[in-house]
Amino acid sequence: MAARLIESLATTDELVELFSDESVLQAMLDFEGALARAEAGVGIIPRAAAETIMASAKAHFFDAGEISRAALRAGTLSIPLVKALTERVRVSDPDAAGFVHWGATSQDVADTALVLLLKRAQSIFERHLAGLETALRGLAEKHSNTVMLGRTLMQPAPPITFGLKAAGWLGAIQRSHQRLNASFADALVVQFGGASGTVASLGDQGIVVGQALAHGLGLIYPDAPWHTHRDRLAEVLCDCGVLAGSLGKMARDISLLMQSEVGEVVEPGVAGRGGSSTMPHKHNPIGCSLTLAATYRVPGLVTTFLSGMTQEHERGTGGWQAEWPTVAALIQSTGLAIASMTEVAEGLSVNSAKMRSNIEATRGTIFAEKAMMVLGQKLGRDTAHKLLEEATRRSIAESRRLSEVLADTPEIALHLDAERLRNLENPEEYLGVADEFRKRLLTVRERN
């Protein structure tokens, strides 16, 4: 299913389908069918009535537009949906119609339907995140020895490896993934509390029915209904926000590395992707752009959800009614970011030669720290720092290599012999424990 034009840069086809009218209606109807089955199982309603209700609880039987219009007056989708389901059942079995929605309340239907949609979203996220993590792990392994500029405050800094950079992206995304899975595990719970959250209409069988309902839907049965306690959902959405931020960091790095004057990586190019309407030479970072756009939306959506958590007593006024569009937009934005960066990582081209040439273009100035640390042992750190600052300025102003300037500076040449000066600008010899950090990041999942 294609997205509406206004949402075309904000979701994926798969997530459009997840939050489509038919999918939302079916999630609500799944609750009603499972409730009837659970109640028939303990003898609260006739089994024949339950079978009729389940057979009628199919989204294609109902007019989503009509239910949507009625919901605006009812204040919830559940009321017109239950009314429509009741009429549908009545056609087949008038007696069974009296058992539709037995003992439940409108928010039970809405909340459980939302949880069922989130459960499907988790499986979509899981598939793409698995691909993304595999691709990043491959990049980190393949480029363990690919040296590149480190960059601090957008300026050249001592070298790192691309393997370490990719492992850093992987580590953040894996940590976010683990947190999100934990919050999903807590949040995938059924909602079944009846009018005031006590299921009083079912006497002492409320818990038995709730447990059977949860089992039938593949959800967890909570300690108690949670109509005005939205903390579990909030954790999922906050963790989506953190994951989106980690994906955005990766997208920001890659889009900067793709700049023509940098030219160190390139997003995969396919027909219709990355071009310009006026400039044929362009290869734009589209996957990164879509991801960054998503990460601009997500924090505000998280805030919107959190602002609605202060709900009144046993049933809120306005708080939970505000949630569905917010949750849908947040899940779709997060899912788009995951899918986009998976595509980017799986097809990313790395130009190791350009990475090295960009190091060379600094004429060795990025190794000023290395020279300073050697000189600092002889002259003291402050004196060494001042000497290297002046030498670096001369290197830039005179377009000379730093090692040449250092060799011409008596105070420095006295302490740095010819061999040390020759090895000064070798990036492989100034990586510290970069590869150990890379390996640690690649094993973070197993270690935790």
Write out the catalytic residue numbers: 276, 315
Is there a contact between 170 and 250 (Cβ–Cβ < 8 Å)? no
Is there a contact between 99 and 43 (Cβ–Cβ < 8 Å)? no
Is there a contact between 40 and 49 (Cβ–Cβ < 8 Å)? yes
Element (H, E) at 164: helix 162-187
Distances in Å between the Cα of 401 and the Cα atoms of 94, 148, 356, 420, 440 are 91, 18, 15, 14, 35
Is there a contact between 2 and 16 (Cβ–Cβ < 8 Å)? yes
Collapse the DSSP code of 441 into the 3-class scheme (helix H, G, I; strand E, B; otherwise coil) and give the result: helix
Residue 384 tokens, joined: 């060494």
Q: Which residues pair with 266 in a beta bridge?
A: 349
Element (H, E) at 344: helix 323-347
Nearest CA to 216 among 181, 238, 192? 192
Residue 260's CB is within 10 A of a number of other CB atoms, namely 8
